Structure 1
Amino acid sequence: MKLAETSVRRPVTVLMLVFVVIILGFVSFTKIPLDLMPEFELPIAVVSTSYSGVGPQEIESLVTKPVEQALATVPNLDSLNSVSSEGSSIVLVTFNFGVDMDQASLDMREKLDMVKAFLPEDAGDPMVFKMDMNAMPILMLAVSSDDMSLAEMQALAEDKIQPRLERTEGVASVSISGGTEQVIEIRTKSEALAGYGISVSYLQGILAAENLNLPGGTVRKGSQELAIKTKGEFDSVEEIKQLIIPLPTGASVQLQDVADVELIEAEQATISKVNGDLGIAISIQKQSGSNTVRVSEAVLAEVEKIKKELPHVEINIIQDSAEYIKDSLKQVAQNGLTGALLAIIVLYIFLRNIRTTLIIATSIPISIIATFCLLYFSNITLNLMTLGGLMLGIGRLVDDSVVVLENIYRFRQQGYSRFEAAVKGCSEVIVAVMAATLTTVAVFIP
């Protein structure tokens, strides 16, 4: 009663408050981050254990079952699923919704520490990973060049492009695939080894011992203490070829006398093609809690700078999650605006009063703009869920507006003035309208 009466008696104050809300709403709208879906934590964790060269049955009995038995006692566990394949054991752990996954991961690691001693010695340590939606790349780039080999493009991507992208705000990691590295291949000559009385393992031991950088102690220089390092790593292929190999007879030969040494490209584990030509694929993951659209925009801005610095290299965008997010949100927003317009047209058809229709039509955008303030100050992103809630709110708003205006119109018909009709009509139904609105809100609270 007092709210309605105060609003009617002080129209200028109410109008100023509306303008303040509109200005705040527009400012908030420009700062609200965009995302496809709201942030949520999946109650799922994965335990991965490697055991090279072992078949699936042995993996299940020696690794998977002990891990499952240890994890079965973790609190708030919902289900356990496992996959045992050659050389690998994967256990999928599902928890009840609402569980703190950081604490759950800690509990899992404690249980696994107790069972490590019962696993085979050659098996790797069980590793725990939380299922994270942020683990998916938000951006994929392809690097290609007509003037560079695949190994040169790989080196360029690792030395120049990857560090630049990793320094971009919001980027968690940058992965490179599809390239190849140069390795030194040493092919021994069986006849020469047999003639000199040495074995491959003997050569391997000498190479491992020679290719080392070792600490050499410290030297004091005044008040400074300098660390000394003895450099032993190979710098070139020629240096490896000329490596001295002691023989059992006391003599020595060079490595090139008993083996062929050559710099070659390593075998490719993955192949990436850009428009039919071999190239380098770059996958970019964002940090947990970072906004996908903002991170993507920052990365693309850095890519444009890299393109200007490396004109001989072509960088193409293969996948950009931000574009899909923008298109999805744009489509939902357009559908919402279309629905609001149709609601106004239907109201005019039934009410047949342009003034009443305009009042309701004005209340819709003002209410939506006010909601942007709440979203911004609550650190909530503009995503499909929040847009869906706004569309639902438009329907609820139209219903409440029709009920209030119809009641005000009834009092006007009974001879009350505009002031009295507005106060009495609003006060009479305000409780019923609030009850109906809160009933709808209560449905979505869980």
Structure 2
Amino acid sequence: MTSVLRMPVDMFPAMNIPVVAVATFYSGMPPEQIETDITSRFERFFTLGAGIEHMESRSLPGVSVIKVYFQPGTNADSDVTTISNLAMAQLRRLPPGTLPPVILKFDASSLPVCLVTFKGEGLNETALRDLAQFQVRNQVASVPGASVPQPFGGRYRQIMVYADPYKLEAHQLSLMDVVRSINNANLILPAGDLQLGQLDYNIYTNSQVSSVEDIDRLPIKTVGVSTVRVADIGYAKDAQQIQTNLVRVDGQPSVYVPVLKQGGDTNTIAVVNGVRDRLKNLFDVPKELVTNVVFDQSAFVKAAIETLGHEGAIGLFLTSVMILIFLGSLRATVAVFFSIPLSALAAAIALALGGSSINSMVLGGLALAFSRLIDNSVVVLENIYRHLELGESPEVASEKGGREVALPVLAATLTTVVVFFPVTFLYGVSKFLFSALALAVVLSLFASFIVAMTVVPLFCARFIKAASHHGTPSSEQPVTVDMPRRRSFGPRFNIWFNQGFETFLKTYDSLVGVVLRGPVPTLVGFAAIFVAGLA
């Protein structure tokens, strides 16, 4: 039971189809040159890796993105290591100034499990992005199993220097002169150390600017005794990068952060609950900031689990009512009642030992098998009751009743199981999806067979002392029912139902006899009805 409770919960089963993404940046390089100098070189070099199925790439302004798809079943961590080693070996052959590539591992679990939005009165898009990027994101990332990428929306703050080309030309300066001067003036460098007594002090020279006005006063060039400063050729401004995406919540400019699940063995519900709890206890953020989870993948998993519980409860109730009506024994009803939960629990334990997770496909497989789980127990129980009515003791009736139908029940179980054999021929994503569903059905059916062959006979031998007369449906073996003067409602209803059912079966036997005595007229009559139905 502990292993079942600790099973990871997810929307879909783990899909071991590793994909490694390689993103390389060179600011300002056009897509054509990115394709020739970066993307193509990486693609040719990545072919040295083992187990690669195919590659996809995109060359954008300043960015090269390559996705390497590996064969299903390969180790994702080994694939990342292989691509990382190849990328680092190729880096020295790339154009000077190319940033080291960012290498990430992707799979089906890399989809967001929830989206967190940010908005607030009086907070502009720049402030919202800064809060999401540097405050909230770091706190949410500490939730076990959560991976938090960069936020979307908002404006990324940047100090911009706007230069007048005419003033640059008048002072015989270029834009690179301005860039070099600002970089050289905005430094912090070690300047040695100073020992005073027993203490050793590290000394730094700090020329970093602390305000936009300080940037305007930075020197660019000295001519004689006069100095050309930034303010002489332009001005500095606290601005932002060019905005490439926009997020609005309730018509208000906002920012959102996707939260991903780390790996296939992480519990989706636990991750989302942890994110919600962390958002309630944020610190070092303004009180105007409003956070909200607008997408929650765990809601679908919870709904699937709740639906499965409802279906199981309805199935148990209806089955128990039918067993109680036909057998007239509350103890026999209890014997069948435990077939569904025991079979489902055994299947869940087997799935947990196999490293599976609780997902929509597994739950769908269990829901599909629920209507079949009780059949084996009902057949065994009915045969045991037949032996009890023949006067045998509960122990002997349980042993004979279970042994006699063991092979037919096994054959019936196998005929259902073999239907799912073609799933093994599927390939790709379909194989991982439907294999989980088929495995849940197969394990639960085999568990129901074991329960029917062990638990039901043991329960009958232990707790059922005599058979309630539920009426053997046969006109050759009539049923006689004693009618004491005083009986409770249950026995009286059972006697009434069996008498009515016996009458129905006698009528059915009579109709079957008529059909068998005149097969040709019967076939002609049904053929005429079929043809009339088509008209």
Q: Which deviates further from its counterpart, 304-313 or 284-293?
A: 304-313
Q: Sequence identity, in percent?
A: 26
Equivalent position to 1:399, from 359, 372, 375: 375
Classify 1:214/1:89 alpha carbon distance in 2 versus 1 (closer, same or farther; 3 Å): closer
Map residues 32-51 of structure 1 onto 2, 5 A cutoff: 33-50=8-25
Q: How far does residue 417 in structure 1 lie from its aligned partner after superposition?
A: 1.8
Contact 2:15 2:107 in 1 (8 A): no
Gaps of 5+ in 2: 422-437, 443-535
1:211 aligns with 2:209: no
Q: Offset of 1:209 from its aligned partner? A: 0.6
Q: Does the 8 Å contact 2:315/2:371 carry over to 1?
A: no
Whether 1:179 and 2:154 are equivalent positions in the alignment is: yes
Which of 212, 216, 231 is residue 237 of structure 1 equivalent to? 212
SS in structure 2 of the partner of residue 143 of structure 1: strand
1:228 aligns with 2:197: no
Opposite residue 423 of structure 1, the aligned amino acid is: E
The partner residue of 2:385 within 409, 434, 440 is 409
Return the match for 1:362 from 321, 338, 343: 338
Classify 1:110/1:98 alpha carbon distance in 2 versus 1 (closer, same or farther; 3 Å): same
- The match for 2:451 is none
CA distance in 1, matches of 2:172, 2:60: 42
Q: Report the alpha carbon displacement of residue 231 of structure 1 after superposing the two structures with TM.
A: 0.7
Secondary structure at 2:151's aligned position in 1?
Answer: strand
Change (3 A) 1:79 1:436: farther
Write the distance in 1 (CA, Å) between the matches of 2:111 and 2:135.
23
Distance 1:110 1:262 in 2: 42
> Could you tell me how far 1:89 is from its partner in structure 2?
4.7
- What is the distance in 1 between the residues matched to 2:211 and 2:49? 54
Single out whichever of 149-158 and 426-435 deviates more from structure 2: 426-435
Q: Is the 8 A contact 1:145 1:313 kept in 2?
A: yes
Structure 1 residues 146, 329: CA separation in 2 closer, same or farther (over 3 Å shift)?
same
Give structure 1 stretches of 5+ with no counterpart. 1-24
Distance change in 2, residues 1:429/1:224 (3 Å)? farther
For 1:2-401, list aligned pairs within 5 A: 25=1, 33-50=8-25, 53-56=29-32, 62-83=37-58, 88-112=63-87, 116=91, 120-121=95-96, 128-288=103-263, 289-306=265-282, 310-344=286-320, 351=326, 353-355=328-330, 356-369=332-345, 380-401=356-377
Which of structures 1 and 2 has the larger relative contact order (alpha carbons within 8 angstroms, sep 6+)?
1
2:434 alignment counterpart = none
**Per-residue Cα deviation, 1:200-232 (whole angstroms, up to 9, x for no partner):** 332322211101111112333455543222111
1:139 CA drift (Å) = 1.9
Aligned AA for 2:360? L
Which residue identity does 1:326 align to in structure 2?
K
Check whether the contact 2:308–2:367 (CA below 8 A) recurs between aligned residues: no
- Aligned positions of 1:418-433 closer than 5 A: 418-430=394-406, 433=409
Aligned residues: 419
Q: What value does the CA root-mean-square deviation take over the aligned residues?
A: 3.7
1:201 aligned counterpart, secondary structure: helix
Q: Quote the Cα distance in structure 2 between the aligned partners of 1:195 and 1:59.
A: 36
CA distance in 1, matches of 2:241, 2:57: 34
Q: Alpha-carbon deviations, 1:37-91, whole Å to 9, x = none?
A: 23332233344455653345x6555555544443444333334444555655544
Q: Distance in 2 between matches of 1:49 and 1:309?
A: 34
TM-score of the superposed pair, with normalisation by structure 1: 0.78
Q: How far apart are 1:297 and its partner, in Å?
A: 0.7
- CA drift of 1:285 comes to 2.4
Change (3 A) 1:337 1:114: same
> Take 1:84 and 1:240, find their aligned partners in 2: how far apart are those partners?
36
Contact 1:192/1:257 (CA < 8 Å) preserved in 2?
Answer: yes
The secondary structure found in structure 2 opposite 1:206 is: helix
**Any conservation in 1 of the 2:193–2:202 contact (CA below 8 Å)?**
yes
In structure 2, the CA distance between the partners of 1:72 and 1:384, relative to structure 1 (3 Å rule), is same
Counterpart contact for 1:71–1:108, Cα < 8 Å: yes
